[in-house]
Amino acid sequence: MSIRINRHICFLILAAVPLLLFADSIRKQNSRMIDSLETRLEELNNPYDSVQTLLNIYDIGASYKQRFDALERLNHTTKLRGMHDTRIDVLTYAANEMRDNDSLLNIIEKNLNEIPESPRQKEALLFLEMIKIDAKIKTHTRDLNTQHLSDLIKTLESDTDLDPYEEALMLYSLCMHLSKTTKGGLLEEYIGKLLDHINSMNLPAGKVRNLVYTRATPIYARNGSAESAVAMDKDMLNIIDSLSLAYKSQGRPYRNMDTYRYSVYRRMLINYRALKPEEIEFFYKKSKEISDVNVRVSDDIRHNEIIEVCYLLANKKYREAIPVLKKHLHEKFYDNYRAHFLNELVKAAAAIGDRATQLEAALELNDSLTARIDSRADERYRELQIVYDMAELRKANSDLRMDEHQAHLRMTRIVLGVLAVMLLLLIAFIIVLLRNYRTYKVLADKLLQTSERLRDERNELRKTQTELIAARDKAKDADKLKTEFINNMSHEVKAPLDAVLEYSQLIMDCIPPDKQKYLEGYAKSMKQNTKVIMTLLNDVLDMASLEHGNIAVHKKPVSIQEICHLALDNIFEGRKRSGIKIVFNPGNKPDDLASTDQVRVCQVLMNLLSNADKFSQEGTITLDYDIDRKNNKVIFYVSDTGTGIPDGCEELIFDRFYKADSSMRGCGLGLYIARLLAGLMQGEVKLDTDYHNGARFIFTIPL
């Protein structure tokens, strides 16, 4: 006995060796393909190509870890890129992989709810809820009760309008609970309703339909409805073929549907009495072809030999079928089909005259049928309870409809009465309208007159608008003429003034020394007044050029201290005024370079210094600067201890021709021009309102 057992074990080991070698070869091949795809993934920059590569890694992955890692990366990438449809598919795959993990299913549901609502998103949520129902029924089988089923049926049979997705979920829950409670006609009735409802919905991905078909087919088979089961399995094959073509067109060559096909072939071969001989041959051959390239299928065929048993029985090869069937009949896989195969075993044994096997199988079949009858009786009792509850519900619904009908009649009478009253009110309203018609006609005549008057006013406004446009164009021409006149007159005046200066200097140089002292005061006065006139003319010219955008900025690196010295020399010319002290760079800051227009910066500083000189009779005039490297700026400060700026005039002093003190010389253009020039150089000029010992102006330009 021990020797026979050891031989049998050795035989099993030898038979398993090729399969183990085949499985190891497949695993190594898959590992190499995944490594190649991972390498390619690192080189990709396009997110769509990365997603495609990760999908291929998921399709190839043989281990749970490989598939789960690919799904995690896919979810992250599709979320970042807003690829909603692909993300929905990824989360559906994850739900299918983790159907027994409640916490992960809740995380998947949260992720799905982040995606904008669409038919695909709603289908994925429905699929997830159906998987949760399967898991709940699987772990709480003993808690099932008819009251829960009755409540579901009451809700479904009521006249209340249900959301299609909610109704599909309730029908699925009812069918799955019924499959654990009863196997009778009530279950098939609601399976049919569920299938009809699912087929009527807009479910673009087909995930829910595939799940329902997968659940419904075994139910039909166990209930003895082999033809219905086979018909559904043929539909499933068509769906699998469509999915295969879709995956190939999407660039997913590794998405293998062979395992799903084999499951369908196996179910159909179990129901071989509903198949034609050529169909049996075809499905058996296809199953074998899949087992040659698929480790899981090969292992399933080797382990339970179910397709071999069915193929031998279908071809009446009873002598070969009986030993194989007896070997596996009491394994767990055959539990759902034991009565079916015991019956087949009895028929096969009778056909070849194997009385011992026939008797043994018949006795076991009798026990199985007895247990099944008891189980069916209990199921029938529960089904009758549910049917009774349904009858009560329908009776209640009928009574409710009768009450509703009577209420509808009463409501009809009330509505007719209300309509009669409304008709009377309508007649009264028409009479009032007729009375008011005359009044409205008079008002319409007045409105017509008003409309004509408004039309005349509109025409007058258009005429005025045309005149205003002409006046605007005339003003523009006048402004242009004014500018040209200013330019011409300024140039015409500057030439004689320059001549006066030169000749006065020439006269001073040519007279005898004893007379120079006498005429020096006159020459100096003439020179200063001529300079004032020249300054006024230059200001007017600069103002016109700045306002018309005719001044350009020429930037080049210049010394900041050189600009400041140039401005001081031009204003004060080395002269000393009694009571006035000129201070430059009191902090002895080092010199620096600024990329700017030296002439325009000097002009702004000269205007500010001239303004300080004008309003300071005694005290100090200070020119200072700072370098703000953080903000890339040069900040000049021109401060004096003069009369200061009156309150409320802080911005007015920068207006054109504004003079805070009308007795002072000048025409009020210096500060106005300074601000325009600063803006031209992307800087600014402003009054320091925190300085109270006179006036201080801050001039800022880019470094």
pLDDT (0 to 100) of residue 375: 57
pLDDT (0 to 100) of residue 64: 72
220: its two tokens = 């039909």
pLDDT (0 to 100) of residue 2: 39
> Rounded CA gap, 695 and 689, in Å?
8
397: its two tokens = 């619904």
Cite the DSSP H helix spans in 61-118: 64-81, 84-97, 102-114
Lowest mean pLDDT among 229-233, 396-400, 404-408, 690-694: 396-400
Higher pLDDT, 701 or 184: 701
Higher pLDDT, 502 or 198: 198
Residue 500 reports pLDDT greater than 80: no
Identify the band that residue 354 occupies on the pLDDT scale cut at 50, 70 and 90: confident
Residue 67 reports pLDDT greater than 50: yes
pLDDT (0 to 100) of residue 145: 56
Residue 241 reports pLDDT greater than 60: yes
372: its two tokens = 């099944």
Q: What is the mean pLDDT of residues 22-50?
A: 68
pLDDT (0 to 100) of residue 645: 82
Identify the band that residue 3 occupies on the pLDDT scale cut at 50, 70 and 90: very low
Pairing of strands 580-584, 619-628: parallel
Residue 528 reports pLDDT greater than 60: no
Closest by alpha carbon to 682, among 582, 601, 572? 601
pLDDT cut 70: percent of the chain above it: 74
* Ordered domains of the chain (ranges, CATH): 551-702 (3.30.565.10)
Residue 423 reports pLDDT greater than 90: no
3-state secondary structure 21-72: HHHHHHHHHHHHHHHHHHHHHHHCCCHHHHHHHHHHHHHHCCCHHHHHHHHH
pLDDT, averaged across the chain: 77
pLDDT (0 to 100) of residue 374: 59
pLDDT (0 to 100) of residue 534: 63
Residue 195 reports pLDDT greater than 80: yes
Identify the band that residue 10 occupies on the pLDDT scale cut at 50, 70 and 90: very low
pLDDT (0 to 100) of residue 377: 54
Q: What is the mean pLDDT of residues 118-143?
A: 82
Lowest mean pLDDT among 116-130, 161-175, 530-544, 545-559: 530-544
Higher pLDDT, 478 or 587: 587
Beta-carbon contacts of residue 251 (< 8 Å; ≥ 6 apart): 52
Alpha-carbon Rg for the chain, nearest whole angstrom, is 51
Residue 141 reports pLDDT greater than 70: no
State the Cα torsion 305-307-310-314 to the nearest 10°: -130
> Rounded CA gap, 681 and 702, in Å?
8
Higher pLDDT, 98 or 282: 282
Residue 482 reports pLDDT greater than 80: no
pLDDT in tens, 356-400: 888 887 888 787 777 666 555 555 555 555 555 555 545 555 555
390: its two tokens = 């349904």
Q: What is the largest CA-CA distance in the chain?
A: 166
Identify the band that residue 636 occupies on the pLDDT scale cut at 50, 70 and 90: very high
pLDDT in tens, 279-324: 999 999 998 988 888 888 888 888 888 888 888 988 989 899 889 8
The answer to whether the CB of 339 falls within 8 A of the CB of 369 is: yes
Identify the band that residue 278 occupies on the pLDDT scale cut at 50, 70 and 90: very high
Q: What is the mean pLDDT of residues 436-440?
A: 80
Lowest mean pLDDT among 81-90, 180-189, 413-422: 180-189
pLDDT (0 to 100) of residue 7: 44
State the Cα torsion 462-466-471-472 to the nearest 10°: 90
Q: Long-range contacts made by residues 535-541, C-beta under 8 angstroms, separation at least 24?
A: 535/610, 535/666, 536/666, 536/667, 536/669, 537/490, 537/493, 537/494, 537/497, 539/667, 539/669, 539/670, 539/673, 540/486, 540/490, 540/667, 540/669, 541/486, 541/487, 541/490
pLDDT in tens, 202-237: 888 778 888 888 888 877 777 777 888 888 888 888
Please give the C-alpha separations between residue 109 and each of 73, 135, 210, in angstroms, as whole numbers: 17, 15, 20
Identify the band that residue 149 occupies on the pLDDT scale cut at 50, 70 and 90: low
Identify the band that residue 476 occupies on the pLDDT scale cut at 50, 70 and 90: confident
pLDDT in tens, 582-624: 888 888 888 888 888 888 888 888 888 888 888 787 888 888 9
pLDDT (0 to 100) of residue 363: 85
